Structure 1
Amino acid sequence: METNAISRRNFLRASGLAGTALCLGFYFPANAKKEQLMSATDQSGFEFNAWIRIDTDGKVTLTDHRAEMGQGSYQSVPQIIAEELEVNMKDINVIFAQGSPTKYGSQITGGSSTIRGSYKNLLKLSAAAREMLITAAANQWNASANECYAESGHVIHKPSGKKLNYGELVTAAAKLPPPQEVKLKKISDYKLIRKPLQRLDTPMKTNGEAIFGLDKRLPGMLYAAVERNPRLRGKVKSFDGSAALKVPGVKQVFKVQMIVFNTTRDGVVVIADSTWAAMQGRKALRVEWDDSGFEHVNTSDIYKAHEELLKTKEGLSFKKQGQPDPIIEQASKKIDVIYQTPYQSHGAMEPLNCVAHYQSDKIEIWGPIQAPDWVQGDISDKFKMPKDKVIVNMTFLGGGFGRKAFLDYTHEAVAISKQIGGPVQVVWTREDDLTQGPYRAGISYRGEGSIENGEISALKFKMAGQNIDHWNNNKRDKANGSTTEGFLKPYFDNIKNISFADVPYEMPLPNMWWRSVYASTNGFAYESFINEMAVLAEQDQLDFRRKYLKDERCQALIDKMEQVSGWKSRKKNEGFGVAITECFETMVGQIVKVSRHTDGKVKIDQVWAVMDCGWYVNPDIIKAQVEGSIVMGLGAAAIHEITFKNGLVEQKNFYDYLMPRMSDMPPVEVHIMENTADAGGVGEPGLPPFAPALTDAIYDLTGKRIRKLPFNLNTV
C-alpha cells in the first residue's frame, strides 16, 4: 500500500446542505505558504469546490472541471474516483463545472493535462471519502474500522456481514474530521483503472441526450451570423444592410468587432429569429472593406522568407551545449537540409458557436469552451464586470484541438448580446472556421549535423516561423519557448555538441495551438533529421537511436517497437520507417510500413504505435486517442494545408480542405507500456511521430527523401 498525505493542495472537506450530503474537494489558495487541512467551519470565506458529492440516496455527483471534447475525461475522471471510492460507475453522475480558477485551479483542456494534472489529487480525495464512510459505519456498529471494508457503494463489517449503503452514512461521515493520511491501492489491486470500460458519454452522444453548444436554447434567444473581414486587421469601410433586413426573420444589422490577440477583427452581424434566417440575411449583405496599411501575404513568399532567414540569421539561442559550429564546419561527413511544414486549420467537426446573455449585473455564457477560467477572466476584463458575475457554462464540444481554448468567439458573442440587449447564439459556418483562423503556423527548419566514427559529433537546428508567444505578448527578444518540444531529452545527455535556435518571423496571420502544438512540426523535422543521420552513419535507424536514448524507459520502448513490428525481419519491397517523439511527459514511438501496389502507388500498409504515458486509466480511450492522432497526422502530412493568396485563405470547406477518408487509413496497432511512472498526456503525443515515420518508410521503399509537407502519396 502507498500512504499519501491528503493535504498536498489543501484538501478540504465540507458538510453541505445541512448535513444531508458528504462533499469533498480542494481549496486553491493564491499564496499558500503552508499546506493545511481545513474543515467547513474554517473556510472563512474561501471558495470551496465540491469535486465529489455523495447524497443520502448513495448517488455520487462528480463535478468535472475540464471540457469533454472527445478525449475521454467524462469517463476517465469518474473511473479514477470509482476505483478508490469503491462505487459502481453507474452510480456516478457527471456535471460540468462553471469557470472558476479560484475553485478549480487551471481548467484549460489542453496540453494533454486533464489526467496527468489531477489524478493524484482525485485518488487521494476518493480514498479519503471512502475512509470517512468506513469510519462512520464502524462508529455506528461500535466496531473497529479495521474490521470494515468498502465495496460497490457499501461499507461491510467483515466478521458479521452487516452492510450499510453510502447514502445511509453520509450524514454521519460529513461530521467527521478528514483523515490526515490515506492508503492508496497498488496498481496490481485495481479493479477499474487500467480496464477498457465503456464510456459513460457514448449512449447520450448517440441518442441525442448530450447537450452540445449548438443545442443550447434560452427563452427569447435570437440568432446571429457575422460577415467578418476575410483579412485580419482589415476594417469595415461601409455596409448596406437594407437587403438583409428584407429577409423574413431578420431583425437587426450592425457592425461588430471581436478582439483577436492584440488586434481586432471587424464584421457586420445579422440578427434574426433563427440561424437559417440570419445566414440568409448575411448573404444579402453588401460590405466594402478597407484592407489598406498591412501586408497581403502569399504562401510562396512565406517559405521563401523562411529559407532566407535560415540561411542568413543565427536567430535567438534556445539551448546550446558544446561547440557544434566549428565541428560541423570541419567535418567531412555532414548534412545540411531544410524541412518545411504547412499551415493547418483545426477543422473540428463542430464549428465554433457560443450563446451569450449580457445583463447589467451579470454576463452568462454557454458553449463548447476549452478554457472556461480563461473566458471568465477575459470577459470580466473586457466588459468591466466583476469576475464572480461572469458565469461560464461548458457544454459538450465536438472537437477543439486548441481552437476552442481561444477567446475571440466568446468575446464576439458577448459584444453582440450587449448590443441587442438579450441572449443570442452566434454560429460560425465551416467557411468562417477555415478562413478566419487562427491556424497552426507553417514552420521551416534547417538541420545541420556531422558524423565521426559512426557517431553524431554535432547537431544544429534552427526554426523559422510564427511564434505563438509573440501574439500573446510582445517578448520578441526571446526564442520560441517550444523550440525543442518533441525532441527527446536523453539526446541532450548523450550528444555533446548540440544547439537549437529560433529565427523570429512575423506575419499578420493569427496563429495558435494545434494538436500537440509545436511538437507536430518539430517532430517531423527533428526525427526526419535523426533518420538522415542514421543513413549517413550507415546504421539501422532503431539501433542508431539506442546509442543516444540510453535511459531504461527509452530502451524498453525501442524493444517493444522492434518486437511488435517485426523490425528485424522486414522483407524486400517493403518500406519501414521509424520516429520517436516526446511531448507533455509522454513518449511515443511509431513504425510505419509502406509498399508499392500494382497500380504503382505507394500505400500505407500498417502503423505500429507504442506509447509510454506512465500511469494511465483506460486503455481503450488511449488507443482511440492515438488512432485519432494518426488520422490527424496523416491529413497534415499528405492531404491538406491552408494556403494564402493576396492575404486571403484559399480553402473554404471540406471540398478543398480534404480530410482523410476511411480508405486512406491503414490498420493501426497501439501498445501501451506498463510501468509505475507518473501519468503523462494522452490526447496529443500520438500525433508528432507519424509524419517522420511515414516519410522515412517512403525513403526506405523508394529512395526518395521527403522534406516538405504536405506531399501527395499518389505521386511519390
Structure 2
Amino acid sequence: MIANNISRRNFIRLSGMTGAALSLGFYFPAKGKEAEILKTEAAGDLGIELNAWITIDSSGKVTIVNHRSEMGQGSFQAVPQIIAEELEVNLDNVNIIFGVGNSAKYGSQITGGSSTVRGTYKKLLKLSASAREMLKQAAAKRWGAALSDCYAENGQVIHRPTGKKLGYGDLVAEASKLEPPKEVELKDPKDYKILRKPLPRQDTPLKVNGKAVFGLDKKLPGMLYAVVERNPRFLGKVKSFDDSATKTVPGVKHVIKVQMNVFTTKREGVAVVADNLWAAMQGRKVLKVEWDDSGFEHHSTDQLYTKMNELLKGEPISFKTKGSFDAVYEKATKKLEAVYETPYESHSCMEPVNCIAHVTENKCEIWGPIQGPDWIQDDLSKQLNIPKENVTVNMTFLGGGFGRKAFTDYPHEAAVISKEIKAPVQVVWTREDDTTQGPFRPGMVYQCKGALNDQKRIRGYETKMAGQNMNHQWPGSDKTSYNDSVTEGFLETYLESIPNYSFGDYPLDSPIPVMWWRSVYSSTNAFAFESFIDELAVLGEKDPLEFRKEHLWDDRYHALVTKLEEVSGWKSRGKNSGYGVAITECFSSIVGEVVKVSKKPDGKLKIDKVWAVMDCGWYVNPDIIRAQVEGSIIMALGAATKHATNFKDGKAVEKNFDTYKMPRITDIGDIEVHIMDNEEKAGGVGEPGLPPFTPALTNAIFDLTGKRIRKLPFNLDEV
C-alpha cells in the first residue's frame, strides 16, 4: 500500500526500488481526446498530473500501480497480464500495488460497470509497448546496432545477428532519458504469449497464505474500534440514549451520537468506541436508544408493490420509442400482456462493510475495502472541509463489493467518529448491520405488452418499469427525469429489428435507500425482457431460440446463438427435461445461457446443467472469465430462488443468513462456460453473466411444467 500521494520519488522508494527507473504514465487531455503517453520526469516541466502505472528499476523489476479495486473480479491479475504481454516480461517479475485515490493521476477509479479492462486495455497495451520500444532503442544505441535487429523477450533485449543480451535493469537508466515513441505497433492477438492464457491469479497465493490485506485485517498504532447502533428505519432520528451500562463495559472509551450522509439525508446512530472490537460490540448490546421515527412513511413490502402496480395505471415518463406501438397493439390479432415482479436484495458481501479513518486538524486518511477511492477522496474533502490533496484514500482487498462498497456513507461515518474522538478508528459493521441498513437493489414491477405480425414476428413491443430510480436520490437530481437504464439488458439488435416499441419509467419515491447491485438494472430488467420474449415465442408457436434468431440482425449475435445451440445440444433436447434460453446485453458484452431442468424422483425440480456463452470481445484471461460467469450465475440463482429483502413497518425484516439464505453447492448442476473469439472491442466480464440466468431458468421450468413464473423469488421445491 502507498501511504501518500504518489510522487515519482516516493513511488520508487515505497516500491522497494533502487537506482534509475523508467517510469511512464498517461496525460489525459480534453475530454474525448486520446490519452498521450509521457515520461513522469516531464511532469514538473509541463505542470501536468501524470499517472505512473509502470516503473522498471535497475534490477529489472517491473511494478504496476493498480488504480482499481480488487474485489474478486480479477483486476489484480488482469492489469499486470495486459502490461506483461507487450512489455515482454514474465509475470513472475511483475509486482503490483494499489494506488491511492487520485482522479487527476488515474482518471476514473470507480470499479463498476465491468469497466477495469474495457476502459483501459488499449491504453495499457500502448503504454507497455512504448516502454518496450524505449528499452530496445537504448540497447540498439549501446550496441551501435539497427533497431530492427533488436527484439525483446522475457525482460531482455536481444540482438538477433549476434545473440547478445541486455536485461531491462541494465538499460533502464538510458531508456529513461528517451522520449516515448509517438506510434507503436501492437501485437496481433494470434501472437499473444500471455494474454488469453489461463494463467493463475497473482492474488490467490496471498489469499491462501493470509498475506492479502483486507479491510478488517488492517491495523494502525493506537487504533480504536467502533460499532454503531443505527436507526433501523433509515430516516429516523436519535431522540435520546442511555449509555450508563455501556460505559461499565471494560475497554469502552466513548459513546457518541453520529450522523452519516446517505444521498440527500442523514442516517443517525450512536457509536460505541472501545480499545477492542469485542468490547465495542458488548457495549452496544446494553446501549439503550430512543428513536424519533416521525415525519416519513414506514413502508412494508406489500405497500411498496401496491404503489408500483398502481403507478403502472398512469402515464410513464417516456424513455425510448420508435414507430407507433399503441396503434399497432390496438389492431393486432396476436398480442400478449404480462406483469413481472422482482424483489429488493441486500448486497451481502462476504466481508461486511468496514473502514479505518484517521482525521487530524487538516488531514484525513482512509484505509479499507473501497470501490471508488477517487469518489471517497472528493466526498470527504467536501464533508470535512479539507483540501482534496490532504485526503488520502488507501484501498485494501475487498471481500466482495457488487456496488455497495462504491458508496460514500461508511467512510464518511468513520471520518466523523475519528474527528470527534481525535484518534484513528476502525468502524465495523456487523452482518446484521450490513444486511438491514442497505442501500439495497431496488424491487421492480414491469408491465410488458407485445404484438406479432402475420409472420409471427414482433411488430410491437412495450415495457413500462415501476420502481425506485437510483439517480433520483443524489443531491440536485431532477426527479421528473426518466430512468436512463430502462432498456439496460435488452439486446441492441432488437431495437433495430422491432419496428414499433415503447419503453417508459414510473419512478417510486421511498425512504428506503437503493443502489447499484451486480449488473445494476440488468439484473431485474432481463427477467422481464427475456421472459416476455419467450412468451411471445410461445404465442407465435415458435421455438424460443429460433424466434430470437429471427430478430437478431447482426452477425455477432448470430455467431453467439450458433455456439449456444451447439454446446447445449438445443436441437436434440429430450422430452423429459425442460430447456430454457435467455440472451442479454450488459456493459458491452453479450451473454447467452441455456438452463436444463428435470424432476427428481420425489417430483421436485432440479437444475441439471447451465451452458453459458460469453462474448466480451477482446479479453485477458479465460479462467477469470469462467470464474466470473460461474459466480454471476450462482448469485443470480440466490436472488431468483433463495433470498429477498422484505420490509415491515419501515424496517428490513431479514437480518442474517438464517433468514437471508444463500444457495448451496447442491442447488445447481454443472456450469459450462464458453468464450467467443472475435475482433470486437473489450466488454465487461464481472457482471454480464448474471442477467440471463434467471429468465433462462424460469423459461426452462415452463418448458418442463407449463407453469409460467412471473414473480421472484420463488421456491424450486414448490413449483
TM-score tier, shorter chain, comes to: over 0.9
CA distance in 2, matches of 1:58, 1:284: 58
Task: Report matched runs for 1:174-323 at 5 Å.
Answer: 174-310=176-312, 312-323=313-324
Measure, in 2, the Cα distance between the counterparts of 1:35 and 1:298: 50
Counterparts of 1:114-513 in structure 2 under 5 Å?
A: 114-310=116-312, 312-453=313-454, 454-472=456-474, 473-513=476-516
| Cα offsets for 1:350-374 (capped at 9, x unmatched) | 0000000001131000000000000
Change (3 A) 1:15 1:220: closer
1:8 matched residue in structure 2:
none
Q: 1:692 to 1:81 in 2, by over 3 A?
A: same
* Equivalent residue number for residue 6 of structure 1: none
Q: Match for residue 115 of structure 2?
A: 113
Whether 1:582 aligns to 2:622 is: no
Partner-residue secondary structure (3-state), 2:116: coil
Name which of 652, 664, 667 aligns with 2:670. 667
Q: Which runs of 5+ in 1 are unaligned?
A: 1-11
Please state how far the C-alpha of 1:334 moved relative to its aligned partner: 1.1
The amino acid that maps onto 1:466 is Q
User: Equivalents in 1 of 2:37, 2:263: separation in Å?
Assistant: 40
Amino acid at match of 1:349: M
CA separation in 2, counterparts of 1:33 and 1:673? 30
Query: Given the superposition, is the C-alpha separation of residues 254 and 445 from structure 1 closer, same or farther in structure 2, using an over 3 Å criterion?
Result: same
Distance change (3 Å), C-alpha of 1:441 and 1:113 = same
Cα offset for 1:16?
Answer: 7.8
**Letter matched to residue 440 of structure 1:** R
SS of the residue aligned with 1:239? strand
The answer for the alignment partner of 1:68 in structure 2 is 70
Deviation at 1:463, TM superposition (A): 0.2
User: What code does the residue aligned with 2:602 have?
Assistant: D
> C-alpha deviations, 1:206-253, integer Å up to 9, x for none?
100000110111111100010000011100000011100100100110
Q: Deviations over 1:437-461 (max 9, x none)?
A: 0000000000011112112121111
- Contact 2:641–2:714 (CA<8 Å) still a contact in 1? yes
By how many angstroms is 1:573 displaced? 1.4
2:91 & 2:167 partners in 1: Cα distance? Answer: 15
Determine the C-alpha separation between the residues in 1 that align with 2:607 and 2:21: 55
CA 35–77 in structure 1, closer or farther in 2 if over 3 Å, else same:
closer
**1:130-169 deviation line (CA, Å, top 9, x unaligned):** 0000110111111111111111101111111111110000
Contact 1:445–1:463 (Cα < 8 Å) also in 2: yes
Q: Which amino acid aligns with 2:267?
A: R
Q: 1:552 aligns with which of 550, 555, 565?
A: 555
Instruction: For residues 395-425 of structure 1, give each alpha carbon's deviation from its aligned partner in whole angstroms, at most 9, with x where no partner exists.
Output: 0010000000000000000000000001000
Cα distance in 1 between the residues matched to 2:91 and 2:369: 25
The equivalent of 1:26 in structure 2 is 26
What is the CA-CA distance between 1:44 and the residue it aligns to?
A: 2.9
Q: Contact between 1:459 and 1:498, CA under 8 Å: does it hold in 2?
A: yes
What SS class does the counterpart of residue 602 from structure 2 fall into? coil
| Identity rate, percent | 62
Alignment-derived partner of residue 540 in structure 2: 537
Using a 3 Å threshold, how does the CA distance of structure 1 residues 662 and 32 change in structure 2: closer, same or farther?
closer
Contact 2:24–2:37, Cα closer than 8 Å, also in 1: no
Match 1:682 to one of 662, 685, 702: 685
SS of 2:463's equivalent in the other structure is strand
Q: Secondary structure at the residue paired with 2:76? A: helix
Alpha-carbon distance in structure 2 between the residues aligned to 1:140 and 1:97 = 35
CA distance in 1: counterparts of 2:486 and 2:11, whole angstroms:
48
Partner of 2:459: helix, strand, or coil?
A: strand
Write the letter of the residue equivalent to 1:671.
Answer: H
Amino acid at match of 1:416: I
Q: 1:33 to 1:519 in 2, by over 3 A?
A: closer
SS at match of 2:515: coil
Question: How many angstroms apart in 2 are the aligned matches of 1:695 and 1:46?
Answer: 54
Letter in 1 for 2:410: Y
1:37 to 1:649, Cα distance in 2 relative to 1, 3 A: closer
- Tell me the residue number matched to 1:708: 711
Q: Deviations over 1:32-62 (max 9, x none)?
A: 9897665534643322221000000000000
TM-score for the superposition, normalised by structure 1: 0.97
Change (3 A) 1:38 1:200: closer
Partner of residue 525, structure 1? 528
Q: CA deviation at 1:665?
A: 2.2
Classify the secondary structure of the residue corresponding to 2:445. Answer: strand
Q: Which moved more, 1:26-35 or 1:113-122?
A: 26-35
Task: Tell me which amino acid in the other structure corresponds to 2:94.
Answer: I
Structure 2: 5+ residue stretches without partners:
1-7
Q: Tell me, in whole angstroms, the C-alpha distance in 1 between the residues paired with 2:135 and 2:248.
A: 65
Counterpart position of 1:3: none
Note the aligned Cα RMSD (angstroms).
1.6
Instruction: Encode CA deviations 1:106-152: one digit per residue, 9 max, x unaligned.
Output: 00000000000000000000000000001101111111111111111
CA distance in 1, matches of 2:632, 2:32: 39
Whole-Å Cα distance in 1 between the matches of residues 22 and 37 of structure 2? 17
Tell me, what secondary structure is at the counterpart of 1:120? helix
Alignment partners' CA distance in 1, 2:246 and 2:449: 58
Structure 1, 22-31 or 396-405: larger mean CA deviation: 22-31
Q: Is the 1:100–1:373 contact (alpha carbons within 8 Å) kept by the matching residues of 2?
A: yes
Q: Partner of 1:99 in structure 2? A: 101
- CA drift at 1:505: 1.1
Partners of 2:417 and 2:706 lie apart in 1 by 57
Q: Distance in 1 between matches of 2:668 and 2:549?
A: 30
- Work out the number of aligned pairs and report it: 704
| Alpha-carbon spacing, 1:602–1:16, altered in 2? closer, same or farther (3 Å) | closer
Q: Aligned AA for 1:375?
A: I
Deviation, 1:478, is: 1.4
Contact preservation (8 Å) 1:29, 1:102: no
Closer/same/farther in 2, CA of residues 252 and 700 from structure 1, 3 Å limit? same
Distance 2:594 2:34 in 1: 48
1:15/1:23 contact within 8 Å kept: no
Q: Check whether the contact 1:19–1:174 (CA below 8 A) recurs between aligned residues.
A: no
Q: CA deviation at 1:634?
A: 0.2
Secondary structure at the residue paired with 1:699?
A: helix
Within 1, Cα distance between the matches of 2:624 and 2:478? 38
Given candidates 695, 702, 706, the residue that maps to 1:692 is: 695
Q: SS of the counterpart of 1:350?
A: coil
The Cα offsets for residues 152-210 of structure 1, whole Å up to 9 and x where unpaired, read as 10111111111111000000000011111101000000001000000000001010000
Could you tell me which amino acid in structure 1 is paired with residue 81 of structure 2?
Answer: Q
CA distance in 2, matches of 1:36, 1:607: 44
Match status 1:601 vs 2:604 = yes
Give the residue type in structure 1 aligned to 2:364.
I
Task: Tell me by how many angstroms 1:379 deviates.
Answer: 0.2
Deviations for 1:232-278, whole angstroms, at most 9, x for unmatched residues?
11000000111001001001101000000000000000010001110
Task: Please give the per-residue CA displacement for 1:599-652, whole angstroms capped at 9, x wherever unaligned.
Answer: 110100000000000000000000000000000000000110000011111101
